[in-house]
C-alpha cells in the first residue's frame, strides 16, 4: 500500500485506482449491521426504497400499506449503536395518503425538496418534501406498477410510467400533463428505467416477455426490441424477439449506462449491450424470481469490478456484473425481499422485505474467529487485507 501511495503522489498511478480498489473491498465485505437498526414504521411489506443522490443521507420507503416514510441515515448521536429514525411519514391519517400499495418512490434527482410516488390506486404523486403535501397528482385509468425520472436529464422533466395497460405514458412535470404515449408492448408494463448516460433513452420491461429501448424524441419511438437469441432464431419461433421466457419484471442500467440488466420470472438475469441491444450471454445461473409485480434491484458504483444486488427469496444475491459469478448471499430477512438500494458514498446496501423490515448491510472491517478456548477474537477480514506492497518489502 505504501508503494501504491508513493506512486500516486508522484503521478505514476491513477488517483481513482485506490478509491475503486477500496470500494471493491468494502462491497466484498458487506454484512448485516448489528449496530444499526432502521426504525420500523410500515405495517405491511416494503415494496420500494430510494436514497437521494445529492447527499446520500435521506432514504424513502414505500409499503404495501400505502405509507411513505422518510429516514435520516446519518448517525447524529455519534453512538456505536443507533437507530435510523423516521424524519416524517405519509401515514394512513395523512389527507393525501395513497389508498393502496405504494409500488415506487423516487427522489427528484437534482434536489431533495421534491420526491415522487406511484401506487396501485392509479396515481402518480409529486410531493413537496418540506411541507409533505402533494404539489401535483397524475391520474391514470390503469393500476400503476412503476415510474422513473431521468437521473441525468437537464433538458426535460419527463416521468415514465408503466401501468397495467400496454402503453408507456410520459408525464411532464413542467406542464402537469401526459405529454405522449409509447406503444409497442402487448401486456402490462412492469418496470421502466431511464438511461443514466443519455437524456432521451428509456428502457421498458413487460409481461409480454419483451424489453424495449426507446428514444422518446422519435415519432416511431422504439429503437430496439431486445432478443435473447441475438437474431439467430427464426421469427416463427415463439421466443423470437423476447428478452426472457416469462414476464420481465425488473431492469437496471449499469452506472455508466453502457449495459442493461434484466430479470424475469423464468428465473434468469441477462446483461445487454445498451448501444446495440446484444445479449452478452453472461451466465448468472438460476436467479429465483417469484414476484408477481415489479422487482427492484440495484448495481454498485465506483468499484474496480461492478456488482449487482438482486432480491432472491428471503435473501439478497450479489453477483459480479460482467462475469456472472455469485459472490455471496446476504441473509437476514425471514420473508421475501422485494427491493434493495445501494448507497455509493459509503458502499452500504439497504433491503426491504415483506417481513416489514428494512435491513442495513455495511462493510465489515473485522470478523470473529474462534480461538482455542472457544472464545472469539477479531481478525481482519481477508477482503480488506493489504494487497499492495512497497518495493522494500518485495526485496
Between the alpha carbon of residue 318 and those of residues 32, 127, 210, the distances in Å are 14, 33, 25
For 173-183, what is the mean pLDDT?
87
Tell me the range of 2-6, 86-90, 302-306 where mean pLDDT is highest: 86-90
Beta strands in 216-288 (DSSP E): 222-225, 248-253, 259-264, 268-273
Closest to 309 in 3D by CA, of 273, 284, 334:
284
Question: Quick one: pLDDT at residue 68?
Answer: 97
Residue 34: which pLDDT band, with cuts at 50, 70 and 90?
A: confident
For 282-294, write each residue's pLDDT tens digit: 999 999 998 888 9
For the entire predicted model, the pTM comes to: 0.88
- Give the rounded percent of residues in the chain with a pLDDT score beyond 70: 88
Other CB atoms within 10 Å distance of the CB of residue 249: 25
Task: Give the pLDDT mean for 221-236.
Answer: 82
CA distance readout (Å), 323 to 188, 326, 363: 31, 9, 22
176, pLDDT greater than 70: yes
Residue-wise pLDDT tens digits, 109-121: 988 999 999 999 9
Measured in whole angstroms, the distance separating CA 358 from the mean position of its chain's CA atoms is 15
Q: Is the pLDDT of residue 394 over 90?
A: no
Three-state DSSP at 58 gives strand
For residue 47, the model assigns a pLDDT of 96
Beta partners for 129? Answer: none
pLDDT of residue 238: 62
Residue-level pLDDT at 384? 42
pLDDT confidence bin for 385, thresholds 50/70/90: very low
Q: How many CB atoms lie within 10 A of CB 147?
A: 24
Structural domains of the chain, ranges and CATH numbers in brackets: 15-363 (2.130.10.10)
> Alpha-carbon distance 156 to 151, whole Å?
11
Q: State yes or no: pLDDT of 42 exceeds 50.
A: yes
Helical (H) or strand (E) element with 361: strand 358-363
Give residues with Cβ within 8 angstroms of 224, minimum separation 6. 212, 213, 276, 277
| pLDDT exceeds 70 at position 3 | no
Distance CA 166, CA 107 (A): 26
Sheet holding 102-107, edge to edge: 102-107, 114-119, 123-128, 133-139
Query: CA nearest 278: which of 252, 235, 323, 243?
Result: 243
Amino acid at each position: 500500500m505504501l508503494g501504491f501511495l508513493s506512486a500516486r503522489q508522484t503521478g505514476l498511478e491513477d488517483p481513482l485506482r485506490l478509491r475503486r480498489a477500496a470500494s471493491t473491498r468494502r462491497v466484498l465485505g458487506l454484512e448485516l449491521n448489528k449496530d444499526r437498526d432502521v426504525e420500523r414504521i410500515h405495517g405491511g411489506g416494503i415494496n420500494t426504497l430510494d436514497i437521494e443522490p445529492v447527499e446520500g443521507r435521506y432514504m424513502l420507503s414505500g409499503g404495501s400499506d400505502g405509507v411513505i416514510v422518510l429516514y435520516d441515515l446519518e448517525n447524529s448521536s455519534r453512538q456505536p449503536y443507533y437507530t435510523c429514525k423516521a424524519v416524517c411519514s405519509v401515514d394512513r391519517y395523512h389527507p393525501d395518503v395513497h389508498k393502496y400499495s405504494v409500488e415506487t418512490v423516487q427522489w427528484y434527482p437534482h434536489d431533495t425538496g421534491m420526491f415522487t410516488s406511484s401506487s396501485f390506486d392509479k396515481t402518480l404523486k409529486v410531493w413537496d418534501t418540506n411541507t409533505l403535501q402533494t404539489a401535483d397528482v397524475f391520474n391514470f385509468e390503469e393500476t400503476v406498477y412503476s415510474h422513473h425520472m431521468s437521473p441525468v436529464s437537464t433538458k426535460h422533466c419527463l416521468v415514465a410510467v408503466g401501468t397495467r395497460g400496454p402503453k408507456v405514458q410520459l408525464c411532464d412535470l413542467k406542464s402537469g400533463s401526459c405529454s405522449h404515449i409509447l406503444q409497442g408492448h402487448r401486456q402490462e408494463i412492469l418496470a421502466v428505467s431511464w438511461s443514466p448516460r443519455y437524456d432521451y433513452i428509456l428502457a421498458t420491461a413487460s409481461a409480454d416477455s419483451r424489453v424495449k429501448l426507446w428514444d422518446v424524441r422519435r415519432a416511431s419511438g422504439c429503437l430496439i426490441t431486445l432478443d435473447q437469441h441475438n437474431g439467430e432464431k427464426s421469427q416463427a419461433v415463439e421466443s423470437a424477439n423476447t428478452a426472457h421466457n416469462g414476464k420481465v419484471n425488473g431492469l437496471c442500467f449499469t452506472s455508466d449506462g453502457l449495459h442493461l440488466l434484466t430479470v424475469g420470472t423464468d428465473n434468469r438475469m441477462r446483461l445487454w449491450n445498451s448501444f446495440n441491444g446484444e445479449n452478452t450471454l453472461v451466465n448468472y445461473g438460476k436467479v429465483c424470481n417469484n414476484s408477481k409485480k415489479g422487482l427492484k434491484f440495484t448495481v454498485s458504483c465506483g468499484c474496480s469490478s461492478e456488482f449487482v444486488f438482486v432480491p432472491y427469496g428471503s435473501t439478497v444475491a450479489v453477483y459480479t456484473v460482467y462475469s456472472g459469478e455469485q459472490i455471496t448471499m446476504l441473509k437476514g430477512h425471514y420473508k421475501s425481499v422485494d427491493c434493495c438500494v445501494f448507497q455509493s458514498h459509503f458502499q452500504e446496501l439497504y433491503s426491504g422485505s415483506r417481513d416489514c423490515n428494512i435491513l442495513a448491510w455495511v462493510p465489515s472491517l473485522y470478523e470473529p474467529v474462534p480461538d482455542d478456548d472457544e472464545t472469539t477474537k477479531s481478525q481482519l477480514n481477508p477482503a480488506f487485507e493489504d494487497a499492495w506492497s512497497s518495493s522494500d518489502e518485495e526485496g
